[in-house]
Amino acid sequence: MRAGMAVLTVDAAGMRAQNSGLLLNMIWRERQISRAEIARRTELSPSTVSAIVADLEQAGLVRSIGAGVSRGGRRPTLIGFCDEAFSLVGVELGASHVTVVLTDLRGRVRTQSKASHAVRGDPEGSLQKAKELIQECLDAERVPRRSVVGMGVAVPSPVHPASPGKMSPLILPAWKNVDVKEWFETAFDMPVFVDNDANLGALSECFWGAGSGGEDLTYIKLATGIGAGHIIHGDVYRGAGGTAGEIGHIAVDSNGPLCVCGLRGCLVTLIGSTALTERARELMGTRGRKGPTVRDLVEGARAGDAAAKQIIDGMGAWLGIAVGGLLNLLNPAIVVLGGEISSVGELLLDPLRASVRQRALSVSMAETRIVTSALGERAIAVGAATLVLQAALRDRSLFPQQNVGRTA
Amino acid sequence: MRAGMAVLTVDAAGMRAQNSGLLLNMIWRERQISRAEIARRTELSPSTVSAIVADLEQAGLVRSIGAGVSRGGRRPTLIGFCDEAFSLVGVELGASHVTVVLTDLRGRVRTQSKASHAVRGDPEGSLQKAKELIQECLDAERVPRRSVVGMGVAVPSPVHPASPGKMSPLILPAWKNVDVKEWFETAFDMPVFVDNDANLGALSECFWGAGSGGEDLTYIKLATGIGAGHIIHGDVYRGAGGTAGEIGHIAVDSNGPLCVCGLRGCLVTLIGSTALTERARELMGTRGRKGPTVRDLVEGARAGDAAAKQIIDGMGAWLGIAVGGLLNLLNPAIVVLGGEISSVGELLLDPLRASVRQRALSVSMAETRIVTSALGERAIAVGAATLVLQAALRDRSLFPQQNVGRTA
DNA sequence: TGACTTTGTTCTTACGACGAAGAAATCAAA
DNA sequence: TTTGATTTCTTCGTCGTAAGAACAAAGTCA
C-alpha cells in the first residue's frame, strides 16, 4: 500500500514551483488580492510573495489592478488574474452532435459552434467535423495558437485511466481503433485531455455551477444515456477501470424491460430520453409526424400538462432509487442534475427528493443538496475546457510562454 | 472551487520534511533498500539521500541491515525500517464488545485483549472498560508511553469530519454528549484518531489484506450492522457528512420488513446478523435454548447443511444488489467482504457474484475483484492502529522523539 | 501637523539540494 | 595477483530559494 506518496521530491526549483503554483491558485480564486494579504494567508514572507508575484506578472498570468482599501496604513496594490491572457478549447462529442467552445480562463465562452453528427457510428467523420468547428472558433476570434493552453474533449464513453484516448469498445465499437487524444494532438499540436462527458459535467458544475466553492459533488447527466460523474477532493474520480458513475445500467426494476446491455430494468430503459419520449407519445399523443421530443415534455410540464407532469414524476421516482443508493454509498455534498430534461427544475426535484427520502438515511440526506444545473447545454463542452484549466492551474508550465511581455 | 491547493507552502525546512517523508515511506514500503537505489528512484542526489537517511537513523526510524548484492561494484548497504521502534494502539468499540490491540509499525499484533460489553447504551462504562484493556496491553509488554505513537479508535457510527470525536446522535443516542477523541486524549495523553469501523476495516485491508499494493478499495462489514468503507487514492473517503458507506439502509426490497430507520426493506433487515440468525432458527431449528448463531451458520454451510447454504445464497443475492450499484457508481478495484459471516468464502462469493452480474455492467465487473477478508476478527482494531501509522508516515513529527539514540 | 500603521522593496543570512571529487569496496579480466 | 572499471557512499563547495531585518513609501487618525 502506498501511504500517500503522490507527492514528488522537491529541490529549490520545485519549492519555487510549488509556492508559485499556490499563489497562482489563490489569485485565480480570489480574483483580487494584495501581496500583503497573500503573505498573511499563506504564511509566506512578504519578500517571497513579492518575488513570486513579479514572476507571475512577467509570465503574463497576473497583473496589478489598482489600489484596495486601506487598513489603517498604505493602501494595498491589488493583484488580479489575467482571465483573458489565454484561451481553452472544449469539445463535446455527444451521441448525435459535436459542440466546440473557446473559453477564457474564467470559463466564459468566447465562441462556440455546434453541428449535428451521428458520432456513434462514424469516428473519422466526427473527428473531421470537430476539427473544422475548432478551426472555425480559433479563426473567429483570431486566436493565435500560442495563446491556447490546450484542448479538452468530452466523449460519451467511459475512459480507462491507462489509455486516456481510447473509448470503451463495448459502448462504442465503431471507435475501437481510434485514439482521440492522439488524433487531436496530431491535428492541433497542443496538449489534449480526454474524459467522459458526465465526469466533465461534474467538473463544470464544480468550477462554475452549483458546486463552486466545494470539492465533492456528483453530477448526473440525464439524456439519451444516463451517466454520473464524481468530483472527490476537487478531482474527477474515475474508479479502477474508468467506469465509475456508469449508473445508466443500475437495475432498478427486476421486472423492467430488457436493455441492450443484457440486463433487465436498467435505469436508462426507464428514464433515458428514448423511454421518456416513447412514454410521452403514449400519454400525450403524437405531435406532427415525429412524436413529442424532450423539449416538448419540458414545455408541457412547465405549462401544467398533466401527462407531462406524470412522466416527470415517474422519472423522479425511478431516479430516486439510484440517487438514494448514491447518498448512502458516497454521501456527496451536492448532487447536480444536468441534461435537457433537468431544466424542469422543481417539477423533477420534488418527486425525486420524495423518492430519495424513502431510500436514504436521513443523516445522509441532511448533508446533501440536490439541485438542477443552471449551466445550460454548453455545460459539458465548458467542462472539457475546464479540464485543461485545472491541469494548468496545477502545473504552471502548461501555460505557453509569452515571449513578449505584453499581457492580453 | 479549489483547484488543488491541498498542498501548503514550502520553505527550506518544509522541503526537508517533504523529502524525508518520501524517503521514510519508501523505506517502509520496500522493507529494505539501499541509498543508491533510493537516489535512483526518487531522483534525489546521492548526497541528499545520505543526509536524510542519517536523519532518519538518528531518529530511530530506520537502520542499516547489512549488505545487499553487488551490481558490479561496491555492495550496497541496505536500509530497513525499524518496525519495532514504536507501538500503535488500536481500539474497536463494537456493538457488544471492546477489542484492544497493540501493534508494531508493520501491523503485527503484540498484545490484544477483548471484553464483552453493551457499548451502545453505556458510554462511560465502555470507555472505562477500554481504558482498562489498553492499560493491560501497555503493561503486558512493558511499553513505555514514549514509544507509543498514538491511538486509533473504531466506532460503530458515522463520524462527521468536522467533529471527529462525536458519534451520530441518531445512531447512538446514548453517546450524544461524549467526545471519544477528547476522552482518550485526556486519559492517555497521546494523539487519538477516531473513525467509523467499516472505514477502518477498509484501511486495514488496504494496508495488510486483499488490497495491499493498491489505493482504491471498498470494504463491506457484514455483522449486526452492514456498513461499507471506501479507500480512495489511499485515503479513507468519508463523504460530505461522514456517512459515506452507510449501505445498511439501502432499500433493496420495497416490500421488505420495516426497519428501525423508518424505511422498508433495508439491507440490514435482510442480511444483518439478526435477520440471518432469525432465518436460521426458522430453517435449521433451535440449537439448545438460544437458537443458532452466526458461527453455527458458518459451520453449517461449510459442512454442507442445505438450509445454511440456502440462507447464505439468499444473502449473496441481496448483497449483490448493493454491490452491483456500488460497482456502477464507484468502480472500485477491489471489494472486500468482512465480518464473521464472510469466513464462508466462496459459498457467499458465488451467489454474490451471480447476483452482481445481473446488475452491473460487465465493464465494471471486469475491473473489480470481489473477495472475502483474510484478516480475521481483529481486522478493525488493527485498522484503527493503522490510522495512526498512516498519519505518522505522512507526518514524521508524530513519531515521538527518542532522546537517547538507542534503536529498538 | 505628527505619531502610528500598513504595504512593499532591498539586502543579508540561513538552509537544503546539487554536483564534483574522492575514498572505499567489489567485480572482472588480464 | 594486479589492474581497471564500476558501484556505493561521503565530503565539501556552490547555488537557488525563503526568511528576516531594515527601510522607503503611502496612508490613517487624532
Can you name the residues that pair with A222 across neighbouring β-strands? A226
Q: Determine the pLDDT at residue A176.
A: 93
Residue B75 approaches strand C within 7 Å at CB: yes
DSSP state, residue A147: G
B240 and B343 part of one domain: yes
- Residue ending a domain, among A55, A81, A107, is A81
Beta strands B148-155 and B109-116: pairing type? unpaired
Residue A34 approaches strand C within 7 Å at CB: yes
Backbone angles phi, psi at B280, to 5 degrees: -65, -40
Q: Determine the pLDDT at residue A5.
A: 40
Calpha distance B21→B9 (Å, rounded): 16
Tell me the average pLDDT across A377-382: 97
Residue B3 approaches strand D within 7 Å at CB: no
A129 and A49 part of one domain: no
The CATH number of the domain where A363 resides is what? 3.30.420.40
Give the residue carrying C-alpha cell 441492450. A260
8 Å CB contact of A4 and B25: yes
Q: Which of B3, B235, B359 sits opposite A25 (nearest CB)?
A: B3
8 Å CB contact of B216 and A243: no
B251 within a domain of the structure (yes/no): yes
Q: Which helix (H) or strand (E) holds A347?
A: helix A346-357
- Chain B segment 209-228 residues within 8 A of A by beta carbon are 211-216, 228
B2 within a domain of the structure (yes/no): no
- pLDDT-derived band at B288 (thresholds 50, 70, 90) equals low
Q: Which of B7, B171, B213 sits opposite A1 (nearest CB)?
A: B213
- pLDDT-derived band at B2 (thresholds 50, 70, 90) equals very low
- pLDDT-derived band at B1 (thresholds 50, 70, 90) equals very low
The answer to whether B377 and B341 are in contact (CB under 8 A) is: no
Tell me the average pLDDT across A276-281: 93
* Cell output for A344: 424542469
B5 within a domain of the structure (yes/no): no
Strands of A22-128, DSSP E: 32-34, 62-67, 77-81, 87-93, 97-103, 109-116
8 Å CB contact of B241 and A368: yes
Report how many domains make up chain B.
Answer: 3
Tell me the average pLDDT across B249-253: 86
Q: Determine the pLDDT at residue B287.
A: 60
Can you name the residues that pair with A338 across neighbouring β-strands? A221
Calpha distance A65→A193 (Å, rounded): 32
A315 within a domain of the structure (yes/no): yes
- Residue ending a domain, among B81, B96, B122, is B81
Of A283-297, A370-384, B170-184, which gets the smallest average pLDDT? A283-297
Residue B50 approaches strand C within 7 Å at CB: no
Instruction: Calculate what percentage of chain A has a pLDDT beyond 70.
Output: 96
Collect all residues with Cβ–Cβ distance below 8 Å to A286 and sequence separation of at least 6: A292
Q: State CA A222 to chain mean position distance.
A: 14
- In terms of Cβ atoms closer than 10 Å to its own Cβ (0-12, 13-18, 19+), residue B258 is exposed
| Mean pLDDT taken over chain A | 93
- Give the number of residues written for chain A: 408
Q: Determine the pLDDT at residue A256.
A: 87
Residue B52 approaches strand C within 7 Å at CB: yes
Residue A74 approaches strand D within 7 Å at CB: yes
Collect all residues with Cβ–Cβ distance below 8 Å to A263 and sequence separation of at least 6: A249, A251, B358, B359
The answer to whether A90 and A381 are in contact (CB under 8 A) is: yes
Calpha distance B24→A5 (Å, rounded): 10
Q: Identify, with chain letter, the residue nearest to nucleotide C20 (CA–C1').
A: B47
B51 touches chain A (CB under 8 A): no
Assess whether pLDDT exceeds 60 at residue A192: yes
A406 within a domain of the structure (yes/no): no
Give the residue carrying C-alpha cell 477532493. A233
A231 and A336 part of one domain: yes
A228 and A339 part of one domain: yes
Top-confidence residue, B6 or A128: A128
Q: What is the pLDDT of residues A313-328, one digit of tens each?
A: 999 999 999 999 999 9
B22 and B45 part of one domain: yes
Q: Identify, with chain letter, the residue nearest to nucleotide D17 (CA–C1').
A: A12
8 Å CB contact of A359 and B239: no
Q: Determine the pLDDT at residue B289.
A: 62
- Residue ending a domain, among A24, A48, A81, is A81
In 3-state terms, what secondary structure has residue A270? Answer: helix
Instruction: Calculate what percentage of chain B has a pLDDT beyond 70.
Output: 96
Cα B92 to Cα B125, B183, B203, B232, B372, distances in angstroms: 15, 15, 14, 22, 20
Top-confidence residue, A17 or B264: A17
In 3-state terms, what secondary structure has residue A302? Answer: helix
A298 touches chain B (CB under 8 A): no
DSSP state, residue A293: -
- pLDDT-derived band at A406 (thresholds 50, 70, 90) equals very low
B180 and B46 part of one domain: no
Assess whether pLDDT exceeds 60 at residue A359: yes
B155 and B222 part of one domain: no
Q: Determine the pLDDT at residue A403.
A: 55
* Cell output for A7: 507527492
Q: What is the 3-state secondary structure (H, E, C) of chain B?
A: CCCCCCCCCCCHHHHHHHHHHHHHHHHHHHCEEEHHHHHHHHCCCHHHHHHHHHHHHHCCCEEEEEECCCCCCCCCEEEEECCCCCEEEEEEECCCEEEEEEECCCCCEEEEEEEECCCCCCHHHHHHHHHHHHHHHHHHCCCCHHHEEEEEEEECCCCCCCCCCCCCCCCCHHHCCCCHHHHHHHHHCCCEEEEEHHHHHHHHHHHHCCCCCCCCEEEEEECCCEEEEEEECCEEECCCCCCCCCHHHCECCCCCCECCCCCECEHHHHHCHHHHHHHHHHHHCCCCCCCCCHHHHHHHHHHCCHHHHHHHHHHHHHHHHHHHHHHHHHCCCEEEEECHHHHHCHHHHHHHHHHHHCCCCHHHHHHCEEEECCCHHHHHHHHHHHHHHHHHHHCHHHCCCCCCCCCC
A215 within a domain of the structure (yes/no): yes
Taking CA–CA distances from B240, the nearest residue in chain A reads A333
CA-CA-CA-CA torsion for A383, A384, A389, A391, nearest 10 degrees? 120
Q: Which of A2, A9, A330 sits opposite B44 (nearest CB)?
A: A9
Q: What is the pLDDT of residues B339-368, one digit of tens each?
A: 999 999 999 999 999 999 988 887 878 889
The CATH number of the domain where B63 resides is what? 1.10.10.10
A271 and A354 part of one domain: yes
B241 and B337 part of one domain: yes
| Mean pLDDT taken over chain B | 93
* Cell output for B211: 488490497
In 3-state terms, what secondary structure has residue A357? Answer: helix
Assess whether pLDDT exceeds 60 at residue A3: no
Q: How far, in Å, is the CA of A19 from the C1' of nucleotide C3?
A: 37
Rg (CA), chain B: 23
- pLDDT-derived band at A181 (thresholds 50, 70, 90) equals very high
- pLDDT-derived band at A212 (thresholds 50, 70, 90) equals confident
Calpha distance A326→A77 (Å, rounded): 46
A366 and A244 part of one domain: yes
Nearest nucleotide from residue B48 CA, by C1' atom? C17
- Chain A segment 128-167 residues within 8 A of B by beta carbon are 158
B408 within a domain of the structure (yes/no): no
Tell me the average pLDDT across B119-137: 96
Those nucleotides of strand C lying less than 7 Å from any protein Cβ are 4-11, 14-21, 24-28
Q: Determine the pLDDT at residue B361.
A: 80
A404 within a domain of the structure (yes/no): no
Give the structural domain span for A161. 87-201+381-398
Which chain A residues contact residue B206 at CB under 8 A?
A: 1
Collect all residues with Cβ–Cβ distance below 8 Å to B203 and sequence separation of at least 6: B195, B229, B231, B236, B383, B386, B387, B390
8 Å CB contact of B394 and A359: no
A366 touches chain B (CB under 8 A): yes
B216 and B144 part of one domain: no
Calpha distance A99→A79 (Å, rounded): 35
Interface test with B, best of A2, A26, A30 (most B CBs within 10 A): A2
Q: What is the pLDDT of residues A70-120, one digit of tens each?
A: 999 999 999 999 999 999 999 999 988 999 999 999 999 999 999 999 999
Calpha distance B279→B370 (Å, rounded): 25
Q: Determine the pLDDT at residue A215.
A: 85
B307 and B176 part of one domain: no
Q: Give residue A159's identity as a one-letter amino acid code.
A: V
* Cell output for A118: 451521428
Can you name the residues that pair with B247 across neighbouring β-strands? none
- pLDDT-derived band at A2 (thresholds 50, 70, 90) equals very low
Give the residue carrying C-alpha cell 485483549. B113
